[in-house]
């Protein structure tokens, strides 16, 4: 819980002399959104490319009846006379400073999750396991950037035992900046793949950026099956390394006896001489890797395999991350949240795994553009088209201007579509009972709208069942 005095000390802020609030007032939380702020919360007026929190100070004060952190613009001061304001030079820096203040006063462990794919699911799995014994603070949803992660930290409740924080990166320096705030004890690196190449330029720079976590951590958890990742870690980190994997038999934590079905995933987790069977509600080989990463983090904190099993089995997944849904006799693999070349290939492989189970008649791939690939964008989309041509994919619907290149490479029935909504309308006309359909694309493509459009065309959501 933060007091006004904490905020002023952490941010080097200046409070208006006529403020009606004393320094001992304690805030119930911190908000940057006047639409969702609650009574008793501190409002920080951030300025973005498309909004300015200073425009909503009055609304925030009326709702929260608390105080506001505001930029030190002289033109603003007269507008908010007799209001409980804390003036700072930079409100974003103030948020970072406040998060750093909270972190430095926290005595528990901080686990940070980085990597190209699987961060959110891994973070949620870690939290599910640790939550069986400890009080966990975790980043909400995928709020993993320079605003979302510090905002999660300043929302820490009393008696929190451990923080589990997700960190995202779009350019070099992002992870270093976030680690400077979070000061992680344990770093989990899920994998290295072709993400945000527009900002990085090469896969080596992606790896270098993710590994900016190294100077801050005492323990590191890495995917032993990712040779490119391991190659980058070895010369840079001399602390304790815990490895997980499926192919690498020397991994500290591994999965064996894997059995996939369209109802659940079964596998055995092995840690040294210990083994335990797990029945997971998650689908896909990549989610076994995510589960192993989470198991490794929990193992590093002294959790036993029974606790790890319980946490994995009780976790139902994250929305739009390979959710399996049934609708009008067809099965949808809703992986619409995001995509890059690595995750796209993995999801296509899972589409084939479903088809090869013998329960489905046709495989349909509805794929949206993979964005932020820079100079690699055309060739990476062509590679997806070539991959699909080598597999028993019956219909390929490419959504967006970049997926045109994939459709051109596809040797089967390819359909070019402009938007996700149009893709849903097209699906409504062509899907049949027994189809298994993958829907995936970058966040900017909003591929979930294909399903929404389909449901509107073919019947209500009441006919849609989530596995």
96 is a domain residue: no
36 is a domain residue: yes
100 is a domain residue: no
98 is a domain residue: no
CA distances for 75 relative to 70, 86, 97, 146, 229, angstroms: 12, 15, 24, 27, 50
CATH of the domain at 435: 3.90.190.20
Look at strands 186-189 and 109-114 and give their pairing: parallel
DSSP state of 237: -
Confidence at residue 460, expressed as pLDDT on a 0 to 100 scale: 44
SS3 of residue 194 by DSSP = coil
By the 8 A CB rule, do 83 and 16 touch? Answer: yes
Q: Which of 313, 348, 378 is the last residue of a domain?
A: 313
CA-closest candidate to residue 272, choices 247, 240, 296, 237:
296
Cα distance from N-terminal residue to C-terminal residue, the chain: 39
d(CA 109, CA 298): 11
By the 8 A CB rule, do 176 and 151 touch? Answer: no
CA-closest candidate to residue 321, choices 355, 293, 287:
287
Within 10 angstroms of residue 382's Cβ, the number of other Cβ atoms is: 16
3-state secondary structure 266-325: EEEEEECCEEEEEEECCCCHHHHHHHHHHHHHHHHCCCCHHHHHHHHHCCCCCCCCCEEE
Instruction: List the domain range (segments joined by +) for residue 85.
Output: 2-90
Supply 444's token pair: 């900017």
Run of H or E including 14 = strand 14-15
Break the chain down into helix, strand, coil percent, rounded to 5.
40, 25, 35
d(CA 455, CA 385): 27
Supply 153's token pair: 């930290």
CATH of the domain at 191: 3.40.1190.10
Q: Which residues have a Cβ under 8 Å from the Cβ of 237 and sit 6 or more positions away?
A: 214, 217, 220
Helices 341-355 & 285-300, crossing angle to 10 degrees? 120
Quick one: 136 and 213 in the same domain?
Answer: yes
d(CA 393, CA 112): 38
Quick one: 244 and 391 in the same domain?
Answer: no
Quick one: 229 and 355 in the same domain?
Answer: no
Q: b vs e for 31-43, b when ≥16 Cβ sit within 10 Å of the residue's Cβ? A: bbebeebeeebbb
- The whole-angstrom distance between residue 184's C-alpha and the CA centroid of its chain comes to 18
Q: Which of 294, 313, 332 is the last residue of a domain?
A: 313
Quick one: 165 and 186 in the same domain?
Answer: yes
Quick one: 284 and 189 in the same domain?
Answer: yes
143 is a domain residue: yes
Instruction: Tell me the whole-structure pTM to 2 decimals.
Output: 0.94
Q: Number of structural domains, the chain?
A: 3
Under-70 pLDDT residues of the chain? 17-23, 73-82, 458-467
SS3 of residue 411 by DSSP = coil
Quick one: 331 and 443 in the same domain?
Answer: yes
DSSP state of 52: B
SS3 of residue 365 by DSSP = strand
Quick one: 130 and 17 in the same domain?
Answer: no
d(CA 245, CA 229): 12
Say how many residues make up the chain.
467
d(CA 99, CA 65): 22
By the 8 A CB rule, do 103 and 181 touch? Answer: yes
Confidence at residue 328, expressed as pLDDT on a 0 to 100 scale: 85
Run of H or E including 127 = helix 119-130
Confidence at residue 80, expressed as pLDDT on a 0 to 100 scale: 65
Confidence at residue 461, expressed as pLDDT on a 0 to 100 scale: 45
99 is a domain residue: no
97 is a domain residue: no
Quick one: 305 and 221 in the same domain?
Answer: yes
d(CA 97, CA 94): 5
Q: Which of 279, 313, 347 is the last residue of a domain?
A: 313
Supply 269's token pair: 């987790």
Confidence at residue 25, expressed as pLDDT on a 0 to 100 scale: 82
Quick one: 72 and 166 in the same domain?
Answer: no
Quick one: 152 and 113 in the same domain?
Answer: yes
CA-closest candidate to residue 393, choices 402, 401, 403, 384:
384
349 is a domain residue: yes
> Given the structure tokens 């002023």, which residue do they identify?
8
d(CA 54, CA 51): 9
Quick one: 256 and 290 in the same domain?
Answer: yes
DSSP state of 376: G
pLDDT tens digit string along 125-184? 999 999 999 999 999 988 999 999 999 999 999 999 999 999 999 999 999 999 999 999
Supply 54's token pair: 């200073």
Quick one: 17 and 126 in the same domain?
Answer: no
CATH of the domain at 8: 3.40.1390.10
């Amino acid at each position: 819980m933060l007091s006004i005095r904490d905020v002023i000390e952490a941010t080097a802020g200046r409070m208006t002399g006529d403020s009606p609030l004393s320094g001992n007032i304690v805030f119930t939380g911190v908000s940057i959104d006047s639409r969702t702020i609650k009574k008793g919360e501190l409002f920080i007026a951030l300025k973005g490319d498309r909004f300015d929190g200073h425009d909503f100070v009055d609304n925030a004060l009326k709702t929260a009846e608390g105080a506001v952190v505001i930029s030190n613009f002289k033109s603003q001061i007269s507008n908010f006379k007799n209001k409980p304001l804390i003036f700072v030079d930079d409100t974003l820096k103030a948020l970072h400073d406040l998060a750093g203040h909270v972190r430095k006063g926290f005595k528990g462990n901080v686990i940070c999750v980085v990597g190209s794919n699987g961060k959110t699911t891994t973070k949620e799995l870690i939290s599910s396991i640790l939550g069986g014994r400890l009080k966990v603070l975790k980043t909400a949803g995928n709020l993993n950037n320079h605003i979302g992660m510090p905002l999660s930290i300043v929302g820490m409740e009393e008696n929190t035992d451990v923080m589990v924080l997700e960190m995202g990166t779009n350019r070099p320096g992002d992870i270093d900046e976030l680690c400077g705030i979070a000061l992680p004890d344990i770093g989990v690196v899920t994998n290295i793949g072709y993400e945000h190449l527009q900002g990085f330029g090469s896969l080596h720079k992606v790896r270098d950026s993710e590994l900016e976590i190294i100077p801050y951590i005492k323990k590191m958890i890495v995917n032993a099956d990712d040779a490119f990742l391991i190659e980058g870690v070895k010369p840079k980190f001399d602390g304790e390394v815990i490895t997980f994997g499926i192919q690498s038999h020397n991994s500290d934590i591994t999965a064996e006896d894997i059995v996939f079905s369209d109802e659940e995933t079964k596998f055995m987790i092995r840690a040294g001489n210990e083994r335990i069977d797990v029945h997971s509600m998650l689908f896909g080989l990549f989610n076994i890797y995510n589960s192993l990463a989470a198991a490794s983090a929990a193992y590093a904190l002294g959790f036993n395999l029974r606790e790890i099993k319980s946490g994995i089995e009780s976790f139902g997944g994250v929305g739009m991350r390979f959710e399996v849904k049934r609708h009008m006799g067809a099965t949808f693999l809703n992986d619409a949240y995001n995509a890059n070349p690595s995750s796209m290939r993995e999801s296509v492989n899972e589409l084939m795994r479903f088809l090869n189970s013998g329960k489905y008649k046709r495989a349909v791939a509805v794929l949206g553009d993979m964005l932020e690939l820079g100079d690699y964008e055309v060739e990476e989309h062509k590679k997806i088209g070539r991959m699909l041509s080598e597999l028993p994919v019956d219909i390929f619907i490419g959504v967006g201007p970049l997926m045109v290149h994939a459709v051109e490479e596809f040797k089967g029935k390819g359909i070019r579509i402009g938007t996700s909504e149009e893709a849903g309308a097209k699906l409504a006309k062509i899907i049949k009972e027994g189809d298994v359909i993958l829907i995936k694309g970058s966040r900017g493509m909003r591929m979930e709208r294909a399903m929404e459009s389909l449901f509107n065309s073919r019947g209500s959501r009441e006919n849609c069942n989530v596995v």
